[in-house]
Amino acid sequence: MLFSTPEFIFLFLPVVALLTFAIGRYSDLYAKLFLILASVYFYTVSGVLDVVVLGLSLFANFALARAIERGRFAAAFLAFGITLDVVILGYFKYFNFLTDTVNSAFGYQVAHGEFRHLPLAISFFTFQQIAFLIDVHRGNIRRPNLLNYIFFLFFFPHLIAGPITSYLPISRQVDLKRVFTPRVRNICFGLALFAVGLAKKVLIADPLAGYIRPFFDNQDALGFGTAWLAALGYSFQIYFDFSGYSDMAIGLGMLFNIRLPLNFASPYKSRSIQEFWRRWHITLSNWLRDYVYISLGGNRRGQIRTYTNLIATMLIGGIWHGAGWGFVLWGLAHGLALAANRWYTRSGLPRLPAFAGWLLTFVFVTFAWILFRSATLAGAGVHLLAMIDISAIASDNWRPFLSVAELNRMIALVAFAAAIAFFAPPAIQIAGTTILPDRRLALRVACFCGLLFGLAMITFTGHSSTNEFIYFRF
């Protein structure tokens, strides 16, 4: 079920919210149980197998966590738990990729199981459960509560594509008394943030997805200008698609008085690749830092080891995103860029001017997105070469991709998206204005958010947003 569909907005969400608040007036426990059941139903829409996989994984990890907490053979139970989670993820997500790679490399004909169905959100809930086991082993979590753990994993606003959360902050919130009682400030903030996120998805990301598809389906025909237009189109599509989802998820969490962690902070304003990863998909960056980079030794074992750890961490991040060599190379490119950034900042060389740092960062990120988006490495290579082949600019032709009217609309939308990404305040700041003491300002911003919601609703008059969020695939 998509957040950006009428079924969710006008049926599922209001029914679940009203019933949760009604039950919450009499019992926190029953409200929590109802919200878990509603979240299970929300997830069941994607397929019963998905719920079975998540349920079995959930109970196995919780049992292992209790075994780890008892102390005897704790390290062995931790290793087994992490291995189990990785094997489950690998079986569903990477088995076909690995067998295809072996087949093409050695000429084998190993069957790769076309029957395999990728459970929705498997990458997200796998990372969250690995973090849970490690936190129990480190002593950060003591005597975890099974019901809170189920809520932590199944809570529908963040279940499908994050933000990646930790057990402890969620558990502490749902243990508060009358947590599921409606609070006007949280509802106002949550609805405003949801409206902004919905507008990002429906008014910017989805139209861009339609415009750029012909370019990536026919990369051999790209010239200098069309290659850059497609690259910029996808850069802003993924930005507004994923940041829009994160805004909606955080807003929905606030409706139920559950604070989910911030996931975006205007990343395209970054002046270095290090700053970019502090602003883009913040919860994934924090997870990779806390549970991979630090576990590998971080920066405590010399410069060479630090650079190696950075590259290895981002390589894992790339593999986490998808089963394909494009994702591997995308992660490797970002790892190398982070290592180069760290070396430069410690080299004693003069700092880059702010504009130069921003431009270098944005151009690098845009180039790297081609590896992320292209269906094949060959297509990515052709696309990247076209982006640097200035000599071919005169022979560039947009006719294989779009009509004149479509091209003009795409250029205008890319320019509009760029203006918002580079100059507009973050969505969470816009939503926060609606609960400020200055009531006139709050009312104006609330009306603005309502206008955005109305514009998004207009798109439903002809068709609903059926484009899945990009990160649903991961």
Contacting residues for 445 by C-beta, under 8 A, at least 6 apart:
192, 430, 433, 434
DSSP state of 176: S
- H or E stretch at 308: helix 303-321
Token pair 């005897």: residue: 72
Q: Which of 241, 166, 247 is nearest to 205 (CA)?
A: 241
Amino acid at 119: P
Whether 137 is catalytic: no
Distance between CA 392 and CA 386 in Å, rounded?
A: 8
Alpha-carbon torsion, ordered 347, 352, 358, 364, to 10 deg: -50
Catalytic annotation, pick one of 281, 321, 334, 383? 321
Question: Could you tell me if 113 and 95 are in contact, meaning their C-beta atoms sit under 8 angstroms apart?
Answer: yes
| Closest listed residue to residue 24, CA positions, set 200, 256, 213, 238 | 256
CA angle 56, 59, 60 (to 5 degrees): 80
Distances (CA, A) of 339 to 50, 312, 320, 333, 394: 38, 11, 20, 10, 37
Strands (E), 263-307: none
Give the residue numbers annotated as catalytic, written as ranges: 321
